[in-house]
Amino acid sequence: MILYILLGVVLMVLVVNVAAIWLTRKGLTEDKNKNMIPDVLETKFENLKKDVAFRVDRVGEELKDVSNAIKEVGNQLGDVPKAVAGKARKGRKNEED
């Protein structure tokens, strides 16, 4: 079974390479640096890398914000049993004054 999967992957890579060579020779795609990767795919891949890097950074920022919020909840969680027991707050003053 694994042999058939491996054979299928090798065959697919071979077909893609032959198609890329054929399209380049026919002049349908450009390959200025002669690395057998069409320039269109290279530019799309560069744009994709930039987009993924931006998203990774944004997710990191949001995870940091969530981490800070969870820490704050943990700090405030100890006040709930005291409030249930009827004890006064030790933190901020009420704005009723």
Q: What is the 3-state secondary structure (H, E, C) of the chain?
A: CHHHHHHHHHHHHHHHHHHHHHHHHHCCCCCCCCCCCCHHHHHHHHHHHHHHHHHHHHHHHHHHHHHHHHHHHHHHHCHHHHHHHCCCCCCCCCCCC
Q: What angle do CA 38, 39, 44 make, to 5 degrees?
A: 105
Look over the chain and give the mean of its residue pLDDT values, rounded to a whole number: 86
pLDDT value of position 8: 95
Percent residues over pLDDT 70 in the chain: 93
For residue range 38-72, list pLDDT tens digits in order. 788 889 999 999 999 999 999 999 999 999 999 99
pLDDT of 97 > 60? The answer is no
pLDDT value of position 69: 94
